[in-house]
Structure 1
Amino acid sequence: MEELQAITEKYDAEYIKNGFSTVDDLNRFALTFYKDVAEIYDCITRIKNTERNPTGYSIDDAPILGLLVRVWKLMKEVIRYYEEDNAEVISVLERPLIEAAVTASFLMGSTPDIVEDYRKCSYKDRLRLLREMEAGSPFFDTKAGKRLLQSVREKLALEGLRPDDFDAQKKNRWKIQGKTFHAIFSEVEHADLYACTYGMMSESVHGSWNESLDWSLTRKDDGTFAPYPFSHPADVRYLSPTLRFTNRPYRLWLQRIDAYDENLQAQLDWVDRVNGALFRKFDTLYDG
């Protein structure tokens, strides 16, 4: 794609050498690189093998494609908040980004029946709405309730599903194949990475005590606490480990749709190499 070439053509030897000179240069280079990676991911989701998919994608492919689109959309938002120097919002956005990337990789290593299971698991609360409607909930007499109910019915009809088609999902407590995300993460990545990435990020969603200590409170000399109303500065170094999770599913997707040619392989290999070089250079230049 010409778009991909336009994104990467500026990365000649001199540009990279200048970008790796000082800490300030490295931070600027890294932010530009991560923005370009998000654009590369965007482009990849628009690449299509017209022989395999002359129009759109099947119900077996579409859930994976949706996750990949979610990844690059979230990555662009994460980068925007790096530019705004707001680390607290980034901590909220990176968790669903990693979850989408890991789940996409998991599904692409699975059989079609597991992809179907993934789709069905998303109906848990929608089926609850149907039960509440049947129980006579007054909410469904309102315009908002009627709109929501119509949306649920349309989605079920789209897949030809009925409320009694979810026995396996109920038995597995609405988890894909009965697996926790920790189990899925451990299969796709490595269990040791869970706690220091996705696990700690869950605090940003659930509002834990340690999350408040990190972002929302300041401790006074007498041991008491006061509100911290300001944004914390963002550190672009944290995006390098995030790319460890994101590059793989885009590579797997291109292989899945039979569009993984030498040029696209080289493009994703280049992302891995530059990201690895950035990680090592950050480690060298930063003290702590």
Structure 2
Amino acid sequence: MEEIAQTLKKYDEEYIRQNFTDAASINAFALSFYKDAADIYDAVTRVRNLERNPHGFDLHDAPILGLLVKVWKLLKEVLKYYEQDNAEIISVLERPLIEASVVATYLMQNDNSVVEDYRKCSYKDRLRILRDLESGSPFLESKAGKRLLTSVREKMLNERLTTEDFDQQKENHWKVQGKSFYKIFALVEHADLYACTYGMMSESIHGSWNESMDYCLSRNTDGTYSTFPFFQPADVRFVSPTLRFASKPFKLWLARIEADDPNLMRALDWIDRVNTAIFRKFDETYDG
């Protein structure tokens, strides 16, 4: 695609060398690179093999595409907070980004029955809404409740699902193939990476004491704690490790939809190479 080719053209050796001088210049360069990477991911989700998919994607492909769109949308939102120098909100957004990326990869490494299982697992709370209707929930008599109920029914109708079609999901406790996300992560990536990436990011969601000590409190000399009202500054350490997870599912997607043009695949490989170089160079120059 021409837009991707134009993006890559500006990253010649001289341009990169000029911006790899110190931590500050690397941070600034990284922001521009991250934005370009997000735009490339965005562009990939718009690619279609017209012979395979003349109109859109069916229920075997659409769930994966939805996850990939979520990845680049979240990445673009992450970069807004990177520009604001606010790393704390970045960790909140990166957790679902990694989850979407890993789950998309897992789905593409398995057959369509797993994609169907993934779709059905998403109905756990929506089936509860239908049960609440039968028990006479006051909320479902309100306008908001009726809209929600209509939405659930329409989705199930579109997928030709009934409330009797979820026995396997109930048996597996509403987990895809009965696997926890940790197990899926370990299969797709490596178990050793879980704790220092997705695991610690989860603290920002769940209100962890360790997360509060890192970002929200300052420890006094007498062992007591006080309010820390400032946001944690952002640098490449808060984005590059997450970007490491992103390119793989986009490569798998292009192969899946038979649109793995060599130029597109090279662009995704390029993202991985430059991202690795940014992280390593920053680590060399950062004094802290």
Normalised by the shorter chain, which TM-score bucket?
over 0.9
* In 2, Cα distance between equivalents of 1:125 and 1:182: 22
Work out whether residues 117 and 177 of structure 2, in 8 Å CA contact, stay in contact via their aligned partners in 1.
Answer: yes
Residue 255 of structure 1 pairs with residue 272 of structure 2: no
Residue 45 of structure 1 is matched in structure 2 by 45
Could you tell me the TM-score, scaled by structure 1's length? 0.97
Runs of at least 4 residues of structure 1 off by over 3 A? none
Residue 159 of structure 1 is matched in structure 2 by 159
Superposed, 1:72-83 pairs within 5 Å as 72-83=72-83
* In 1, Cα distance between equivalents of 2:166 and 2:90: 36
* In 1, Cα distance between equivalents of 2:237 and 2:141: 51
The alignment covers a number of residue pairs equal to 288
Cα shift at 1:23: 2.1
Percent identical residues: 65
Residue 55 of structure 1 is matched in structure 2 by 55
RMSD: 1.0
Residue 185 of structure 1 pairs with residue 180 of structure 2: no
Cα shift at 1:104: 0.4
CA deviation vs aligned residue, 1:138-181 (integer Å, no higher than 9, x gap): 11111111111111111111101001110000000000000000
Residue 223 of structure 1 is matched in structure 2 by 223
Opposite residue 58 of structure 2, the aligned amino acid is S
Residue 20 of structure 2 is matched in structure 1 by 20
Superposed, 1:103-142 pairs within 5 Å as 103-142=103-142
Superposed, 1:224-243 pairs within 5 Å as 224-243=224-243
* In 2, Cα distance between equivalents of 1:48 and 1:265: 14
* In 1, Cα distance between equivalents of 2:141 and 2:34: 48
Could you tell me the TM-score, scaled by structure 2's length? 0.97
Residue 5 of structure 1 pairs with residue 28 of structure 2: no
Structure 2: state its 5+ residue gaps: none
SS at match of 1:218: strand
Opposite residue 228 of structure 1, the aligned amino acid is F
* In 1, Cα distance between equivalents of 2:179 and 2:242: 23
CA deviation vs aligned residue, 1:221-247 (integer Å, no higher than 9, x gap): 222222222222112223221121101
CA deviation vs aligned residue, 1:245-272 (integer Å, no higher than 9, x gap): 1010000000001111221121112112
* In 2, Cα distance between equivalents of 1:238 and 1:192: 18
Cα shift at 1:15: 0.6
* In 2, Cα distance between equivalents of 1:236 and 1:277: 11
Residue 68 of structure 1 is matched in structure 2 by 68
CA deviation vs aligned residue, 1:12-63 (integer Å, no higher than 9, x gap): 1211110112222211111111111001000000111111101100110000
Cα shift at 1:281: 0.9
* In 1, Cα distance between equivalents of 2:145 and 2:229: 37
Residue 169 of structure 2 is matched in structure 1 by 169
